[in-house]
Structure 1
Amino acid sequence: MSAGLELRRLSVGYPRRPVFEGLDLECVAPGALVALVGPNAVGKSTLLKAIAGLRPARGQVLLDGTDLATLPPRARLRRVGYLPQALPQATSLVAYEAMLSALRASRPELGREPAEAAIAGVFAALELDALALRPLAELSGGQRQMVGLAQVLVRAPRLMLLDEPTSALDLRWQLRVLHAVRALVAEGRTLAVIALHDLNLALRFCDHIVVLGQGHPHNRLLAAGRPAEVLTPPLLQAAYGVRARVERCSLGHPLVLADEASSPTHDVP
């Protein structure tokens, strides 16, 4: 049995509009942070929803060798944490209560003290202690996005699926989120797949990258592997339709610099 996430012949889409047909993804082991990237409307959110069991799909989503479709809902909820693009609802619940509700839904066996310790640990890791007793209705969009992420982290699932968790955040909080997720997966018990538009964040923080492109549903997966090896100028041209360079900054981090818009080629050398 292979530990980690693997996709076998996965097909998913909408009525009269297939998005992926027969998608295969080699097993990615726990302890990895995986960037899911590609242009708008290429199917990143659809793929995350299919893995989470929120969209009908054919084929197999294997987690540690188990087909997630064979699990009862409670068991799947325990193993998989999903953060959608939509912000948590602006309710009268305070952030602590929202965290506790998420934890009780997936791990009802936890006693009061372990549950409080888990919540406190996540609040501290994300630097959200000041929000604990504030109603969600009083929080900004970025703050609610952080609480939504905290609801996933506190459950400590085997697999985290995060759909653009930095989209409503300023630069500081983008870094705070990715450092926190990076630290969690580095412990080796969790695997995270994170949809991103910022390729430089993917290069800096992620161990593995999956690049999707436009084209026939059979050929949406353009490349997968180590970010610094996968993100080349020809790949960026094929996926995004840009002429781009990959250079290194003064600290040695690789950076994608897009120079000019052109047209996607759909062909990867």
Structure 2
Amino acid sequence: MLKLDRLTIQYGALTVARDIDAQFEAGNIYTILGANGAGKSSLLKAIFGELAFSGTVAYQGSVQTKSQLNAWRKPIAYMPQDSHTDAELTTLEVVILGRMDALSRHISDELLREAVELLAELNISHLAHRSIRSLSGGQRQLAMFAQALLRRPKILLLDEPVSALDMAHQINLLDKVRHYTQQHQLICIMVLHDLSLAAQFSDEVILLADGDIQAQGMPKAVLQSEILRKVYHVDIEILTSHQGSPVIHPYRKRQASV
């Protein structure tokens, strides 16, 4: 279990998260939602240990501290929103860096095979020997996701993992997230802007606004018109897909004719 206890994040006088209490269980996908500036990315950075905070972040009895940050990060794979890199490396080499702790002068056949298999599963084998700098934003996102999975994490932190992907690749990647989370009993916490995708692929969603958790629970319970209208300041229509998950449709009211 990953547990946040009274987690507070401040940028000077600005409080982006205030006394956040939350628990995350293995085998589940948790998606953090909220308007721009709600503190979604900051929450992931704090969990990873990249951002200062007050309060406590603990995992399996171990508490995050600055002095033990390397040990804290060992079971965590963090995929930030910005996947840009200036490294002169191939896509395959970038993926293999996910296991930097296991690297030496010689890359084992097992590690190489695992990296190649991940590229194949994400349908990007053809990019293996291309420079990572030459890839599109969406292709880099897929490569960085493969790198994250190669770490064999216990906690997977994904900040807008599908923001640069087309619809087919969004579904492919999120299907992989769900598969790996369940198969390997990971704790997956991701940030998404697409509420309908969050509803389809999350076990729980967390809605942030004004530094506080406004609602948390199963998507059907949280993604309701009234609370979404309050958080996003837009009129919302909730539809239902043939799979039974909410489909969130924002709309602008028509102006009355004069």
Same fold? TM cut 0.5? yes
- Per-residue displacement from partner, 1:132-188 (whole Å, max 9, x unpaired)? 111112211111121111111110111111110111111111111101111000114
* 1:232-251 alignment, distance < 5 Å: 232-251=224-243
Shift of 1:247: 1.8
1:6 aligned residue: 3
1:45 to 2:41 alignment: yes
- Distance in 1 between the 2:54 and 2:171 partners? 36
With normalisation by structure 2, the TM-score equals 0.91
> Retained in 1: the 8 A contact 2:220–2:245?
no
> Retained in 2: the 8 A contact 1:8–1:24?
yes
> Retained in 2: the 8 A contact 1:90–1:138?
no
1:208 aligned residue: 204
1:253 to 216, 232, 245: 245
1:230 aligned residue: 222
- Per-residue displacement from partner, 1:109-130 (whole Å, max 9, x unpaired)? 9971331232123212211211
2:154 aligned residue: 158
2:69 aligned residue: 73
- Distance in 2 between the 1:149 and 1:52 partners? 16
> Retained in 2: the 8 A contact 1:83–1:165?
yes
2:118 aligned residue: 122
- Distance in 1 between the 2:191 and 2:177 partners? 13
> Retained in 1: the 8 A contact 2:35–2:232?
yes
- Distance in 2 between the 1:92 and 1:250 partners? 46
> Retained in 2: the 8 A contact 1:13–1:46?
no
- Per-residue displacement from partner, 1:57-98 (whole Å, max 9, x unpaired)? 111112223213277233223211111111230432001111
> Retained in 2: the 8 A contact 1:95–1:147?
yes
> Retained in 1: the 8 A contact 2:7–2:54?
yes
1:21 aligned residue: 18
> Which shifted more, 204-213 or 58-67?
58-67
- Distance in 2 between the 1:10 and 1:251 partners? 36
SS at match of 1:168: coil
SS at match of 1:40: coil
1:183 aligned residue: 179
SS at match of 1:72: helix
- Distance in 2 between the 1:61 and 1:71 partners? 14
Aligned pairs, number: 252
- Distance in 2 between the 1:253 and 1:227 partners? 8
- Distance in 2 between the 1:66 and 1:209 partners? 25
How much is the aligned-residue C-alpha RMSD, in angstroms? 1.9
Q: Unaligned 5+ residue runs, structure 2?
A: 254-258
SS at match of 2:8: strand
1:193 to 167, 182, 189: 189
Shift of 1:212: 0.4
- Distance in 2 between the 1:52 and 1:86 partners? 15
- Distance in 2 between the 1:72 and 1:96 partners? 30
Q: Unaligned 5+ residue runs, structure 1?
A: 262-269
With normalisation by structure 1, the TM-score equals 0.87
- Distance in 2 between the 1:78 and 1:199 partners? 31
1:56 aligned residue: 52
- Distance in 2 between the 1:231 and 1:71 partners? 40
The 1:191/1:71 distance shift into structure 2, 3 A limit, reads farther
1:267 aligned residue: none
2:256 aligned residue: none
Among all aligned residue pairs of Structure 1 and Structure 2, give the percentage whose two residues are the same amino acid: 31
